[in-house]
A and B are shown apart, each in its own frame.
Chain A
Amino acid sequence: MTFSIKRVRAIVTKDWKDLLKNSYVLITIVLPLAFAAMLSRMAPDDPSLLTMPINIALAMTGAFVQASIMAEEKEKNTLRVLLLSPASTLEIMAGKSFLSAFITLAVVAGSIFISGIQIPGLPYFSIMLLLSLVIFLSFGTIIGLVSRTVMETSVVGLPVLIIFTYGSMLASMFDNPTMSAIVSYLPTESFSAALASLGQNGGFAEIKWDLLNMLLWAIVSLIAAVFVYGKRRFDK
């Protein structure tokens, strides 16, 4: 497997130029920031709501921007053209994920800034954010490859957004212990739990199981994305 920074940079540059003219993606970027502003006004003193804007930013920007970029490449047959160029699978995946990752980080930072809450334990928070990025970009890649069109990504991706962002809310609504147990293993739940522990001056010992759960999610989702990419990369 070859890897050329020059080729990755070419794909990123192209994606950046394209993104600036893509209204669908631009709206997807702005929405989490609007949610963050709304949530901060709703409960400015409730730190438990801090993770909500972050999770929304990760799910909406991380997953949906990546999904729409991948789906459009597939829909317009440009992914096929990239695959028939000297760019390797790794270069294409890296190039296509770099911009989504960068935008997601910017939106997460923007959401935190708008929420106005200090992040406890920055090194651990950075690791958690990195793992979340891998998870949501992988989901985005899968959603984009499974969807036939960009518009279809909204339909295919909606359950992901609902389950991962509002999982605990849904579990409490149904008051079902099994459902609550399943939801507790979601990476977003681990993210929230770990962040709460860090907020109470907790350290690695308090968040290790949450980190492990997120790491497992990251590994499994990455493997699933590579598998789906292998199966669905060529348009029909």
Chain B
Amino acid sequence: MDYQVEVNGLTKAFANKSALKGVDYAIKKGEIFGLLGPSGSGKTTMVKILTAQLQHTSGAVQVFGNDVSKLKDPAQMKRIGILTDNSGLYDRLTVYDNLELFCKLYDVSERRIDEVLEEVNLLQDKKTIVKQLSKGMKQRVTLARAILHKPELLFLDEPTSALDPTNKGQIHAGLRKLNKEGTTIFLSTHDMQEAEELCNRVAFLHNGSIVELDTPQQLRIKHGDSTIKLLLKNGSTVSVKQDMSGANAISQYITNGELLSVHSNEPNLGDIFVKLTGRELQ
């Protein structure tokens, strides 16, 4: 199996506090992998370790098949893109000037600037001074910067936290396109809807440990209660099992003209996280 990231027995401690406690997982090439957890669960620490900004305490971390420390090599650094939780933009410069610097650092043609600005819906603002942009617009500029060089592996730490639904949808479409072109994406988020929409697999991080890891569909099946909720015309709801008895009950309600609608009782990722950890994802 061709893995872009492999993490085995990873621990990280700050003074007396353990931030990560023996974490294991691997990310396949071409996958969108989501790391879900509430604030303080260790997501940002994980991103910093995977991008060689922070040294781990013990365990093995490999990126592109090499120890993560090899990422400090500029040739390896060109293979990854990073969007962190804080913008890191030059406020006094224009959007174009900000991206132009990184075109030169990554040896990318400046023609690419218009392409990425189009993808994040900021082309009309390319001559705007960054200081004058809203928080959401700044976040879109940082995303444009992260994908400027079409990285093989893209780390996104809360990429759409400051965006409205329209821009969020546009960013998601851009990320899916990038992924189709071959970019593996590591997405750290507490937005379970975002994870459901984008991720092939998700891992739940709670108190520095991964408590569940699978595809969103498998998690819903695994943690669902195999029942169907029926809404009746008299306003009441009835739950029936997904078996012959349930099928007969639904048939009876339809025959009697009592059935208004049928709903799946499948939990969403947020429900599953609460069930496993007792905590909300927010």
Contacts and interface: CB of A to CB of B under 8 A. Distances in A.
Interface of A: 2, 6-7, 9-11, 13-14, 17-18, 21-22, 76-78, 80-88, 234
Given A85-B77, A86-B77, A87-B74, A6 B90 contact: no
B61 to A, nearest CB: 16
B271 interface: no
A18 to B, nearest CB: 6
B87 interface: yes
A143 B87 CA distance: 24
Contacts of B114: none
A78 B97 contact: no
B254 interface: no
Interface string B80-94: 001010111111110
A2 B74 contact: yes
Contacts of A9: 104
A18 B92 contact: yes
A76 B77 contact: no
Contacts of A6: 104, 107
B252 interface: no
21 contacts: A2-B74, A6-B104, A7-B104, A10-B104, A11-B101, A13-B104, A14-B93, A17-B93, A18-B90, A18-B93, A76-B89, A77-B87, A80-B53, A80-B84, A80-B88, A81-B84, A84-B51, A84-B53, A85-B77, A85-B105, A87-B105
Interface residues of B, number: 24
B15 interface: no
A82 B82 CA distance: 11
Given A2-B74, A17-B97, A77-B87, A86 B105 contact: yes
Interface in B46-82: 51, 53, 74-75, 77-78, 82
B3 interface: no
Interface centre among B51, B53, B77, B101 (most CB of A within 10 A): B101
B234 to A, nearest CB: 58
Given A76-B89, A81-B84, 5 more contacts: A7-B104, A13-B101, A17-B97, A77-B87, A78-B88
A118 to B, nearest CB: 40
Interface centre among A14, A77, A81, A87 (most CB of B within 10 A): A81
A215 to B, nearest CB: 31
Given A86-B78, A87-B105, A77 B88 contact: yes
Given A77-B84, A77-B86, A21 B92 contact: yes
A149 to B, nearest CB: 14
Contacts of A76: 88-91
B106 A86 contact: yes
A22 B90 CA distance: 11
Contact of A86 (B75, B87, B88, B89): B75
A84 B77 CA distance: 7
A77 B82 CA distance: 13
A94 B172 CA distance: 38
Contacts of A85: 77, 102, 105-106
A82 B106 CA distance: 11
